[in-house]
Chains A and B, each alone.
Chain A
């Protein structure tokens, strides 16, 4: 790591933004100090990054090609066998499908409810603390608290709050919220919306507050009604935020594990078991860490695809906007 001596006048340092900094005219010793200092700043993070992200990523790839036990030792090389097995394993496909199904079911209500909440709060302009407290607060609860609360107090038949409320309306639902394969996933989606919609609510609220006021004033002068202002100003101005909310939501929903593990354990009849739970079962209770790694990488591919599709779509929409 040697610093090259600058010739005067030196070109601006690579990567610097804008005008040349005084460093360009400094003697070599100072420049070398800067070089070292730069690395010193980055080094601690890089150490963590290499040890706990890059290394496990490579280790996982190696493990996925072997039949190691839980400690990652003592296995032999099996090549692509784990991947071949994973692609032919109906449990992989069904748990992948449950993950995608949960994501499809949960994304629209999470985005729309968040939007409606933000519009309500923004429009009302009073009791801001009340909306924030009641809609955002559940997001701050650990998944363990949320999962156990709904499992033990909301969803049990007869004495659960869900049944009691429906009963008091004169309905006898008789729904096996978490025990009937027809409703279990929907119940988990319901819990998830209650738990996490506050995050999207806040993102939308921040975006709403950033819309310039003069747009509305101009529209009002032109005689636009409340509904027209919503359609022609508010919603278009929120398009970018919606893009962010949707992709964050998709990526978060694909990683579903906690609520399902706590509330149904993947049941009934494994009808709600997500892919991460299958990875957990294969690796940590089935002790097949190589196979678990291979399944992880199949799942990783899914996440990368979603991210890339999103990237292409936003790029295209930006290009169109630029036209």
Chain B
């Protein structure tokens, strides 16, 4: 009983800020700064949403974010899965040395590379482009590590049977290994997608043109133009926060398992 009360109290604490954002977004603009605790204004209005939506910026940034996140996720899952398979299931000269080089990369936080990466993007002419946002986010050594650990646990007999039937490496990879590793691949995909969708620092540095910005960067960039129009700020936050919350509602189990899996294997 005590446990339930404590748990529910924590739920209330955690939900309050979000509820307050939604409540504010539905108030008339001139009632958002009242100094008494009012959850509902004199009337419930969607004016703030209409104004935010009409300005068009938010849709643009959402589409940018969606594009950047999908491309990054596809490239990350594909390259990491192939590399993990190559490292754990094939032999070639220098394999161990190259694997060591990739694993050493786990120690490098991307954040310390912002200055040289930016210089590199300038010389490649990729500032303010989608590829400038995408490319540096693709190679994630930790993901290779997670997948290598997974592949090592897959019995080789399953692949050998396919070889005996005359299949090549590629066919075995696509028809045996990939289907077998669907759960871990979807965990990596979901995790990469969340991270890319929410990433702030790198897109913030590499985009200066509002039309190239991702959702989080665009939001922070325009907060000053909304000024003290709190209902509109909150409406834009609700719209911006909604997609991933909906994704979570649908894929709860996979996300929960994915976080647990990648988090624990991340050691």
When distances are taken between beta carbons in the complex, the residues of chain A under 8 Å from B33 are 158-159
Task: Assess whether B7 is in contact with A57, with CB atoms less than 8 Å apart.
Answer: no
Task: Assess whether A148 is in contact with B219, with CB atoms less than 8 Å apart.
Answer: yes
A206–B265 alpha-carbon span in the complex (Å): 12
Given contacts A41-B169, A129-B252, A280-B205, contact A145 B267 (CB under 8 A): no
* 23 examples of A-B residue contacts, CB within 8 angstroms: A35-B92, A37-B90, A41-B85, A41-B169, A41-B173, A49-B101, A53-B105, A59-B116, A132-B252, A138-B14, A140-B247, A142-B219, A144-B215, A144-B240, A145-B240, A164-B37, A194-B13, A206-B261, A251-B109, A276-B201, A283-B118, A297-B112, A303-B107
Tell me the smallest distance from the CB of A142 to a CB of chain B, in Å.
4
A27–B123 alpha-carbon span in the complex (Å): 47
Contact with B along A4-25 (1 / 0, CB 8 A): 0000000001111110011100
A120–B79 alpha-carbon span in the complex (Å): 40
Considering the complex of A and B, which 9 residue pairs feature the smallest CB-CB distances, nearest first? A72-B119, A41-B86, A38-B90, A206-B260, A48-B139, A45-B83, A38-B92, A60-B116, A144-B216
When distances are taken between beta carbons in the complex, the residues of chain B under 8 Å from A258 are 200-201
A210–B3 alpha-carbon span in the complex (Å): 21
When distances are taken between beta carbons in the complex, the residues of chain A under 8 Å from B152 are 17
When distances are taken between beta carbons in the complex, the residues of chain B under 8 Å from A76 are none
Task: Assess whether B237 is in contact with A145, with CB atoms less than 8 Å apart.
Answer: yes
Task: Assess whether B82 is in contact with A42, with CB atoms less than 8 Å apart.
Answer: yes
Tell me the smallest distance from the CB of B205 to a CB of chain A, in Å.
7
Task: Assess whether B79 is in contact with A279, with CB atoms less than 8 Å apart.
Answer: no
When distances are taken between beta carbons in the complex, the residues of chain B under 8 Å from A315 are none
List the B residue with the shortest CB-CB distance to A259: B200
When distances are taken between beta carbons in the complex, the residues of chain B under 8 Å from A292 are 115
Task: Assess whether B35 is in contact with A289, with CB atoms less than 8 Å apart.
Answer: no
Dominant SS among interface residues on chain A: helix
Indicate which residue in A117, A244, A279 contacts B266 across the interface (CB closer than 8 Å): A244
Task: Assess whether A38 is in contact with B237, with CB atoms less than 8 Å apart.
Answer: no
Indicate which residue in B108, B118, B135, B230 contacts A48 across the interface (CB closer than 8 Å): B135
Task: Assess whether B116 is in contact with A72, with CB atoms less than 8 Å apart.
Answer: yes
Number of interface residues of B (CB under 8 A): 104
List the A residue with the shortest CB-CB distance to B221: A144
When distances are taken between beta carbons in the complex, the residues of chain A under 8 Å from B10 are 117, 120, 134-135
Task: Assess whether B241 is in contact with A141, with CB atoms less than 8 Å apart.
Answer: yes
A156–B93 alpha-carbon span in the complex (Å): 61
Given contacts A41-B85, A199-B259, contact A141 B244 (CB under 8 A): yes
When distances are taken between beta carbons in the complex, the residues of chain A under 8 Å from B116 are 56-57, 59-60, 63, 72, 293
In the complex, whether B156 has a CB less than 8 A from a CB of chain A is yes
When distances are taken between beta carbons in the complex, the residues of chain B under 8 Å from A228 are none
Dominant SS among interface residues on chain B: helix
A22–B10 alpha-carbon span in the complex (Å): 58
Contact with A along B123-158 (1 / 0, CB 8 A): 100000000000110110100100000001000100
Indicate which residue in B21, B114, B248 contacts A153 across the interface (CB closer than 8 Å): B21
Task: Assess whether B245 is in contact with A140, with CB atoms less than 8 Å apart.
Answer: yes
In the complex, whether A317 has a CB less than 8 A from a CB of chain B is no
When distances are taken between beta carbons in the complex, the residues of chain A under 8 Å from B51 are none
When distances are taken between beta carbons in the complex, the residues of chain A under 8 Å from B259 are 199, 202-203, 206
A44–B249 alpha-carbon span in the complex (Å): 34
Contact with B along A106-138 (1 / 0, CB 8 A): 000000000001001101100001111111111
In the complex, whether A102 has a CB less than 8 A from a CB of chain B is no
In the complex, whether B11 has a CB less than 8 A from a CB of chain A is yes
When distances are taken between beta carbons in the complex, the residues of chain A under 8 Å from B263 are 199, 202-203, 206, 244, 248
In the complex, whether A34 has a CB less than 8 A from a CB of chain B is yes
A72–B257 alpha-carbon span in the complex (Å): 43
When distances are taken between beta carbons in the complex, the residues of chain B under 8 Å from A145 are 216, 219, 237, 240-241
A194–B115 alpha-carbon span in the complex (Å): 31
In the complex, whether B98 has a CB less than 8 A from a CB of chain A is yes
Task: Assess whether B91 is in contact with A38, with CB atoms less than 8 Å apart.
Answer: yes
| Further 7 A-B residue pairs, CB within 8 A, beyond A49-B102, A276-B114, A279-B115 | A21-B160, A48-B138, A51-B135, A132-B252, A161-B16, A203-B259, A276-B201
When distances are taken between beta carbons in the complex, the residues of chain A under 8 Å from B107 are 303-304, 307
In the complex, whether A154 has a CB less than 8 A from a CB of chain B is yes
In the complex, whether A94 has a CB less than 8 A from a CB of chain B is no
Tell me the smallest distance from the CB of A138 to a CB of chain B, in Å.
7
A303–B20 alpha-carbon span in the complex (Å): 37
Task: Assess whether B201 is in contact with A257, with CB atoms less than 8 Å apart.
Answer: yes
Tell me the smallest distance from the CB of B130 to a CB of chain A, in Å.
15
A63–B260 alpha-carbon span in the complex (Å): 39
In the complex, whether A235 has a CB less than 8 A from a CB of chain B is no
A117–B7 alpha-carbon span in the complex (Å): 7
Contact with B along A86-120 (1 / 0, CB 8 A): 00000000000000000000000000000001001
When distances are taken between beta carbons in the complex, the residues of chain B under 8 Å from A202 are 256, 259-260, 263
